[in-house]
Every structure is written in C-alpha cells, then in structure tokens.
Structure 1
C-alpha cells in the first residue's frame, strides 16, 4: 500500500488557496432558516435492544425541508443527567444500522446520537431516511446529485439534516447543551466539519480522515471512489467543470472549516486513496479553532481504527473534564 499523495512534510507545509463563494454565509443562513421554518418536533421512542446497560431510543428529527431523518439515541443506563453528548455522522453508503450496533460512546458514559444518512445504507425495522429529491446526477452515487446548482446539491440537504440533529440533541433533557461533540469517519468527518462551521457553541469536533475537503483536488487525484464520481461526471460533461466545481464549493468542508471555532481533533492517513491526505490537511490547516492531529503514516482509509477510538475517548474525557 504505497503513498497516494504528497509526503507528510509537504502536507504539513500545504496551504491551498480554495475558492470561497462570496455568498457562502448567506447561502447557509437561508438554507438553515428555511429548514427551521418548516417546523416539526423531534420524537424519541424507546426500543428494546436486549442490552441492559444502555438505553436506546428510535429517533425522528425534522431535517431539510422538515423531512424526517432517523437515528438512534443511546444513553448509559442509570447515569446522572444531563450528560455530555457525542453526535455521530456516518461514512459514505452507511445508514444507522441496527439499534444495538454502535454503543461505544454510551458505554463510555455519554449520550450518543447517531444520525441516519438520507438515501444511504439499508432499511431496518425502524425505517431509514429516503432522499426525496428527484434530481440525480448521471453518475451512480451521491456527489453528482443536483451538482449543476448549489441549491440542488445532495450535500446541502445532508448538512442541513446534521445541523438539525445537533439542535435536537441540545433540546433533549438528558443532554447538556454546552457539552456536545460532533464526529464521524470519512463522509461523517466532512459532515462534522461543516456542522462545526454552521453551529456555534459546540464543545468539540473530531473529523476522522474527512471526506468532502478540497473537493477539486480530491476529484483530480483520488484513486478510489467517491471523489472519482466527480471526475467521471466531468469526463462526460467537459464544458461544465467550472460550474460544477463552483457549485460543490458551497459544501466543501475545508472551505467551511475556517468558520469553526470549537476545539478539534483530526486524524489523517498518509496512504489513503479514498480521501487523499492533502485534502484532509487542507481542512486541518484552514480550521478556525484550536486543533490537534493524529497522523497514521502506514494506513489507508481505515485510518487509526481502534487505536484512534482510544485516543478519541481520552480527548473527549479531557475536554469534558475541563468544561
């Protein structure tokens, strides 16, 4: 598994000049105001997972355009309230899965809110979250859905869902609204960066080998999907590169990262062919708040795996102990 991109020294020195749309803040302000105006109330329905030390709820939150977004809320049984909370966003192609599958953070003593990913993953007994938009790109996947116009972008809808999930977490009586950390691997890492930029007052953010950062470069150099979806689309539509890449800049997590202020704990893998390390470093260098980084020099897209989960557990413990 060779290096896929720049060396570590080159990545540490990298300061890319990314295109930032002049109306970026207005675009997201309007998007989120419209989502909130659509109304709706989060629903938290207890479910029996067979686990005795974790209490789980089937979650339904009004997301983009008020559409229902599913998820799971896990709470450590018998813990004193309110709790620090970890809100997790998932990798490309993944849905929330089964109710008992992801309980690490609850076992560590925190509330853990897992967001389903619209249109991705697979159905469960509790239902999943469809993407109701009819606009689709001409390349299979999600990156080119509605890619000709930033208002139609799939990730405009998904980022809005994620913001609304964090807002729902703040309203839950079991959650301390001042102690919320957002996290995710790959696609989830990119979402967490966008949320950190769009939601003030977070306690922290943990982007793990984040996707959707320096999207133009990702489309140019990534050896494996999903960035390759953009390259394939533009290989068919040779005259649309500027329009498409300008549209995608509205959801580029490295562009948005400069607006984030919460403490951040990044991970980057130097042999990552899915999210090339230079794209992850673009977000790290542009990040607007205090930040730390773990680099896994001999790993691919799996990143630090269990070793990094252990580092994240220690980071969150220290973060919440200081608050």
Structure 2
C-alpha cells in the first residue's frame, strides 16, 4: 500500500505537533461564558421545500459579535409522546448546510435535525466580526493578527455550541440524546461541538480539518484547504521569525487540543492516503479523545467519498 504519512503503528500513538497555548482552558471557558451571556434572538422562517413527514424551516440566531447565524431545521410533523433525539450536521469548507434530502432520513427516524451554515461561507450566515490583517486564501488566518478572540474559527466553534444549546432547549428534544456529525471542516466542527457542549452524546467525524496545523506545514501540505498558512508566511513572515508564536496562536482553534474535552462516544472515519487532511492530523484529534471511541480505517482512500461510511454513521447515530 502506498504510504503518505507515518505507518499505522506510529499513527495510533501520534500526538499533535501544534503547541497548546498556556491559557487554552481559560480561553475556552471564557468563550462559553460569553455564550451564556448572549440573547440568541431565535427566529424561524418557513421554506418552500415540503416533505410528508417533516416540517422544514430556516432558523436564525445571534452568535458572538452580533452575527446572525443561519441553520436549516427539520423536525418530525407527527408529535412523539416523549421528547426525541436530535442531530447537528456540519458542512465541509466553503459549503453550506446539508440539503433537506440529506436530513430527511434522520427525521424519518424521529430526529430533530439542524444543519449549520458557517459564517461567511456558502450559506446564509453573517460573518460580522471585523479583524485586523490579511484574510486572503481562507479563514484559518482570519484574526491571526488580532486578539485570539477574533480568530474566525473561535467564533464558528462557539456557533456550534450555541446551536447545540438551542436544539437541546426545545420541548420536543431530549437533551441527553443529541449527536453531532460532519466531514472535513464539518468533522472538525462536530468534534469542537462535542468538546464545547459536553452533553453531546455521540460524535461522528470524517477526516477532520483544522487539526494539527504545524504537522500540515511540516509535511509540506499547507496548500488546498490549508493554503492560507503558506500564503500568510510568504507575505508576513517570510523568514519564519514568528513561526512559534503563530502556531501557538493557531493552537487555540486546533481540534487536536479541543478533542480531549469530548465526553460522548466518538466514531471517526480516517483516510490513510489523504493529502488534504493528512492521516497523522486525523489521528492527532482521535488520539486526544479520552471518551469511548472507535474508528473506521480506509487505507486506500483520500479526501473523497468513502464506501459504507454514511451507513455506518447512520447506524451509530441511531443507536443514541
């Protein structure tokens, strides 16, 4: 088998290369406290899409920095006798919330399903936080020249936790039966959601993005989804004099650090020939998890459709 990264016996032991800021725990504690002080101002709008067993609506809420954040919400039409399970879905980089068709199998199984639009990407959410410095070639570097609280992904991560709280607060939802799921960027957001909202009971994450930035750079894979890293150094630190400080700041928004806070059970799909989100970075997140966990290994696959993965995720989530 071709080898892109370390052999499997090393990958299963690998820990992150990205430094963890000394005040990492306090930073995220303060972020959660900020959420608790927010008035989310939730609103719902009917949509044209109809399904015989699902009510489909647009939902907006106010997140950090006053941004109006959008999510698709699909709920069972037939009321259940007891509050039921819920699923939070997170999309890949530059995309938008999953289509209604992707959400409906879970609604048919009795789930309330919410799909988040990430700020300033392909959906309807606002990116309202202004920052100093460069934003060219991707959101990883947005806020890198400003206070850590201005980091783009810090606020997207908090959006996932706020969405979880909103869904858990619905009368029709059992807050103890909520899952999070996604692939690539969505895989990272599912992990972040599970870390920042510890009541999340199950997390499915497929080849997560936003994990172990320094390892990506060391492997010379700071391109494609990570091209912002290379561009930033070329423009603003060509001699890498600030390299240590830059990677430490990125450590605030690195899921290889956040994943240690997950309390729910985790299933990951890991791809061994992935040159977008290298396998060592996927294992960096997986190996940090101390909660019950397992993974599906795809030795011959990269960042692509994985046979059987959606079925495995469906069965895993339905077992809530």
5+ residue gaps, structure 2, are none
**Residue pairs, 1:175-214, within 5 angstroms:** 175-214=173-212
Aligned-residue offset at 1:165: 0.4
Worse-matched range after superposition: 267-276 or 236-245: 236-245
Aligned-residue offset at 1:224: 4.2
Residue in structure 2 matched with residue 275 of structure 1 by the alignment: 277
Q: 1:223 to 1:26 in 2, by over 3 A?
A: closer
8 A Cα contact 1:266 1:293, kept in partner: yes
* SS of equivalent to 2:224: coil
Aligned-residue offset at 1:177: 0.7
8 A Cα contact 1:193 1:205, kept in partner: yes
Q: Matches of 1:140 and 1:51 in 2, distance apart? A: 39
* SS of equivalent to 1:311: helix
Output the TM-score relative to the length of structure 2.
0.91
Output the TM-score relative to the length of structure 1.
0.90
Residue in structure 2 matched with residue 41 of structure 1 by the alignment: 41
Q: 1:138 to 1:85 in 2, by over 3 A?
A: closer
From 128, 132, 135, the equivalent of 1:132 is: 128
Aligned-residue offset at 1:74: 1.0
Aligned-residue offset at 1:13: 3.1
Q: Matches of 1:291 and 1:274 in 2, distance apart? A: 23
5+ residue gaps, structure 1, are 123-127
Aligned-residue offset at 1:313: 1.3
Deviations 1:123-178 (A, max 9, x none): xxxxx112122325253211111113422211011111111100100111221111
Q: Matches of 2:104 and 2:223 in 1, distance apart? A: 30
**How many equivalent pairs are there?**
313
The ranges of structure 1 where at least 4 consecutive aligned residues each deviate by more than 6 angstroms after the TM superposition are none
Q: Matches of 1:55 and 1:138 in 2, distance apart? A: 38
Q: Matches of 1:154 and 1:169 in 2, distance apart? A: 23
Q: Matches of 1:79 and 1:38 in 2, distance apart? A: 30
* SS of equivalent to 1:109: coil
**Residue pairs, 1:23-102, within 5 angstroms:** 23-78=23-78, 80=80, 81-96=82-97, 99=100, 102=103
Aligned-residue offset at 1:29: 1.6
Q: 1:32 to 1:16 in 2, by over 3 A?
A: closer
8 A Cα contact 2:16 2:215, kept in partner: no
8 A Cα contact 1:51 1:100, kept in partner: no
Residue in structure 1 matched with residue 291 of structure 2 by the alignment: 289
Q: Matches of 2:305 and 2:268 in 1, distance apart? A: 11
Q: 1:11 to 1:173 in 2, by over 3 A?
A: same
Aligned-residue offset at 1:101: 5.5
Aligned-residue offset at 1:191: 1.3
Deviations 1:25-70 (A, max 9, x none): 2111212222332313322333331322221121112222342210
Residue in structure 2 matched with residue 125 of structure 1 by the alignment: none
Q: 1:250 to 1:97 in 2, by over 3 A?
A: same
* SS of equivalent to 1:233: helix
Residue in structure 2 matched with residue 246 of structure 1 by the alignment: 248
Residue in structure 1 matched with residue 113 of structure 2 by the alignment: 112
Alignment RMSD (CA, Å): 2.1
Q: 1:7 to 1:104 in 2, by over 3 A?
A: farther
Aligned-residue offset at 1:193: 1.2
